[in-house]
C-alpha cells in the first residue's frame, strides 16, 4: 500500500541505522518533503520511501495524504495501563492538600490499586486495559511498555503479566512487558520489607522467568519505597534470568536509584524529578536512557525532571506518559510532548525525538519503531499540513491527527 502526497515525512531514516539521538543530534529531526511511503500490508513493514520524482503509480486503495504530514508513532516506554478501578477519591485528597506520600502512608495509592486488582479477573483487567491501549493508539502511539506492580503477591503479579501478554497478542502495537513486583510492599508483608524483597527475588522472579512473562524488571527505588541496596539486589537477581532493569528513581527524593540502575547496566532510569548534576553526569556517560514523565509532574504537582539539562549534557533522554491511576491518568503522548516543550523547555525537535526514537530505545524497540524507513514497522500518524513542527506541541488540544496506522492498519 502506498501513502502519497505527503507534505512532510518526519523521522525519516532511510538507512535504518538510527537507534537513539543524543548530544547535538537530538536538536534535529530528519524529514523529507513531497514524499511517499510504501508498506507491505501483510507484514506491516515499510518497503520504501521517496520523493515525488520517483513515486510508484498510485493504485486503487492507496491513500492520498493531501499534503498532510506523516510522523512516526509515539513510543510510550513507561506505563502502568493494567489496573482495576480508578482513584479519583485520591484526586480529591490531593486537592485538599495531601501529598502522594501521605496518601500512600494512609494505605491509599498503590496498595489501594492492589486491593482492587486482587478482586478483578484476568478478563476484566484485559477489557479495561484494552480500552486504554486502544485510546492510546488512536492518539498516535504505536509502541507501549506495560508494567506489573499492582499485584504485590506472586499470584497477582503473574495475573497482571498474563494480561499484559494477552494485550501483546491482540494489538498491532509493539508491546514490551516489565515485572514490577517491587512497586510497594504487599499488605501481607507490612513492616517486613526485607522479607518482601526476599519474596520478589526468591519466588516472584523465578516464576516470572519460568513462564517467560517479562523482558524487563523495575523497582520503585525511592524514599518510603525501596532502597538503592534493595534495588541493586533485585537487579542482580534479575540479570541471572536475563531481565534488564528499567528503574523508577529519584522521583520523590534523590534515592540512589540512578546509581543502582547505571551500575547494573539498566536500559533506563525513569522519573528523575529530583535528579541532580551527579546523576545527569552518570547517565551522560552511560547507555542508560534518562526517561522523564512530565505528565506525572503535571498531575501530581511534582517538579519537572531536568530533561533540557540532561540533553545538553549528552544523556539519551526519552519522555513517556507513566499512564497509571494514581499519578498520571493519561496516555496522551501529544500532551507529553507539549509538557516537554512548555515545562521542560525542550524545543519541538527535542521533544519529538524524546517521544519517538528515544522512547523506542528506552523499551528496546528502536530497530523497528521510532522512525520511518524501509524495514521498520508502518507505525505512523497523519496530521493536516502544519505551518511548522512547533505547531504540533503548540496547538496542544487541537485535533490535528487525521489518521493513525499501526503495522499499516488503520486504528
Ligand atoms: O510511576 N512512582 C511509582 N509508581 C507510579 C505511580 C503508581 C500509583 O500511584 O499507582 C508512578 O508514578
Ligand atoms: Fe511509573
Length of the chain in terms of residues written? 411
Rounded to whole angstroms, the Cα distance separating 163 from 254 reads 33
Rounded to whole angstroms, the Cα distance separating 279 from 266 reads 14
Contacts 24+ apart (CB under 8 A), 386-391: 386/69, 388/348, 389/10, 389/29, 389/348, 389/349, 389/352, 390/341, 390/348
Closest of 99, 168, 77, 135 to residue 330, by C-alpha: 135
Give the model confidence (pLDDT) of 212-249 as tens digits.
999 999 999 999 999 999 999 999 999 999 999 999 99
By the 8 A CB rule, do 273 and 290 touch? no
Rg of the chain over Cα atoms, rounded to whole angstroms, equals 21
Query: Which ligand has the minimum distance to the alpha carbon of residue 109?
Result: 1
* Predicted pLDDT of residue 133: 98
With a 6 Å cutoff on the Cβ, whether 324 touches ligand 1 is yes
Nearest-CA residue for atom 1 of ligand 1: 322
With a 6 Å cutoff on the Cβ, whether 108 touches ligand 1 is no
* Predicted pLDDT of residue 101: 84
* Predicted pLDDT of residue 229: 98
Contacts 24+ apart (CB under 8 A), 396-403: 396/334, 396/335, 396/338, 401/139, 401/140, 401/334, 402/68
Question: CA-CA distances (angstroms) from residue 193 to 65, 155, 312, 378?
Answer: 56, 19, 38, 45
Those residues whose C-beta lies under 8 Å from the C-beta of residue 38, and which sit 6 or more positions away, are 1, 2, 3, 46, 47, 48, 49, 56
* Ranges of the chain whose pLDDT falls below 70: none
Q: Which three cell numbers stand for residue 196?
A: 518482601
386 Cα: distance to centroid of ligand 1 (angstroms)? 35
With a 6 Å cutoff on the Cβ, whether 141 touches ligand 1 is no
With a 6 Å cutoff on the Cβ, whether 356 touches ligand 1 is no
Closest of 247, 259, 261, 232 to residue 293, by C-alpha: 247
* 10 half-sphere exposure, CB direction, 13 A CA radius: 29
Give all domains of the chain, ordered by start, each with its CATH number.
2-72+368-410 (2.30.40.10), 75-362 (3.20.20.140)
User: Residue 346's beta-bridge partner residues?
Assistant: none
Mutation test of ligand 1: which of 93, 152, 327 has the most ligand atoms closer than 8 Å to its C-beta?
327
With a 6 Å cutoff on the Cβ, whether 321 touches ligand 1 is no
* Predicted pLDDT of residue 104: 81
Rounded to whole angstroms, the Cα distance separating 265 from 144 reads 22
Closest of 286, 297, 292 to residue 264, by C-alpha: 286
3-state SS class at 265: coil
79 Cα: distance to centroid of ligand 2 (angstroms)? 6
Q: Where are the beta strands (DSSP E) in 327-396?
A: 380-383
Rounded to whole angstroms, the Cα distance separating 44 from 47 reads 9
> Which residues lie at CB < 5 A from ion ligand 2?
322
Rounded to whole angstroms, the Cα distance separating 334 from 88 reads 23
Please report which residue ranges of 58-145 form alpha helices under DSSP H.
88-95, 100-105, 109-119, 122-138
DSSP run (H or E) holding 308? helix 307-312
Q: Which three cell numbers stand for residue 257?
A: 536509584
Rounded to whole angstroms, the Cα distance separating 411 from 406 reads 7
Rounded to whole angstroms, the Cα distance separating 72 from 63 reads 17
Q: Which three cell numbers stand for residue 349?
A: 525537535
With a 6 Å cutoff on the Cβ, whether 248 touches ligand 1 is yes
Amino acid at each position: 500500500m502506498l501513502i502519497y502526497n505527503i507534505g512532510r515525512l518526519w523521522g525519516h531514516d532511510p538507512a535504518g541505522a538510527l537507534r537513539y539521538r543524543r548530544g547535538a543530534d537530538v536538536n534535529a529531526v530528519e524529514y523529507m518533503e513531497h514524499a511517499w511511503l510504501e508498506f507491505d500490508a501483510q507484514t506491516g513493514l515499510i518497503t520504501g520511501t521517496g520523493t515525488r520524482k520517483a513515486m510508484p503509480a498510485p493504485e486503487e486503495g492507496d491513500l492520498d495524504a493531501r499534503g498532510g504530514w506523516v510522523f512516526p508513532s509515539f513510543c510510550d516506554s513507561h506505563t502502568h495501563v493494567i489496573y482495576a478501578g480508578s482513584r479519583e477519591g485520591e484526586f480529591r485528597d490531593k486537592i485538599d492538600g495531601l501529598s502522594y506520600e501521605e496518601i500512600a502512608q494512609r494505605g491509599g495509592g498503590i496498595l489501594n490499586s492492589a486491593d482492587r486488582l486482587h478482586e478483578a479477573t484476568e478478563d476484566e483487567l484485559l477489557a479495561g486495559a484494552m480500552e486504554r491501549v486502544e485510546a492510546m493508539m488512536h492518539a498516535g502511539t504505536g509502541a507501549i511498555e506495560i508494567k506489573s506492580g499492582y499485584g504485590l503477591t506472586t499470584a497477582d503479579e503473574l495475573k497482571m503479566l498474563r494480561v499484559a501478554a494477552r494485550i501483546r497478542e491482540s494489538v498491532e502495537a509493539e508491546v514490551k512487558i516489565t515485572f514490577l513486583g517491587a512497586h510497594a510492599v504487599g499488605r501481607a508483608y507490612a513492616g517486613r520489607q526485607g522479607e518482601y524483597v526476599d519474596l520478589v527475588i526468591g519466588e516472584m522472579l523465578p516464576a516470572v522467568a519460568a513462564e517467560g512473562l517479562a523482558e524487563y524488571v523495575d523497582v520503585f527505588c525511592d524514599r518510603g519505597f525501596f532502597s538503592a541496596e534493595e534495588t541493586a539486589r533485585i537487579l542482580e537477581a534479575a540479570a541471572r534470568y536475563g531481565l534488564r532493569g528499567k528503574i523508577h528513581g529519584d522521583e520523590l527524593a534523590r534515592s540512589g536509584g540512578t546509581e543502582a540502575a547505571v551500575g547494573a547496566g539498566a536500559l533506563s532510569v525513569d522519573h528523575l524529578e529530583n535528579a541532580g548534576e551527579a546523576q545527569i553526569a552518570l547517565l551522560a556517560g552511560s547507555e542508560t536512557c534518562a526517561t522523564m514523565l512530565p505528565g506525572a509532574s503535571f498531575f501530581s504537582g511534582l517538579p519537572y525532571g531536568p530533561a533540557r539539562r540532561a540533553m545538553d549534557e549528552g544523556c539519551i533522554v526519552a519522555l513517556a506518559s507513566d499512564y497509571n491511576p494514581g499519578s498520571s491518568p493519561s496516555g496522551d503522548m501529544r500532551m507529553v510532548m507539549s509538557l516537554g516543550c512548555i515545562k521542560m523547555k525542550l524545543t519541538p525537535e527535542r521533544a519529538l525525538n524524546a517521544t519517538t526514537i528515544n522512547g523506542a530505545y528506552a523499551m528496546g524497540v528502536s530497530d523497528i519503531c521510532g522512525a520511518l524507513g524501509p524495514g521498520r514497522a508502518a507505525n505512523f500518524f497523519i496530521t493536516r499540513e502544519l505551518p511548522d513542527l512547533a505547531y504540533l506541541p503548540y496547538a496542544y488540544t487541537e485535533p490535528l491527527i487525521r489518521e493513525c496506522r499501526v503495522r499499516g492498519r488503520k486504528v
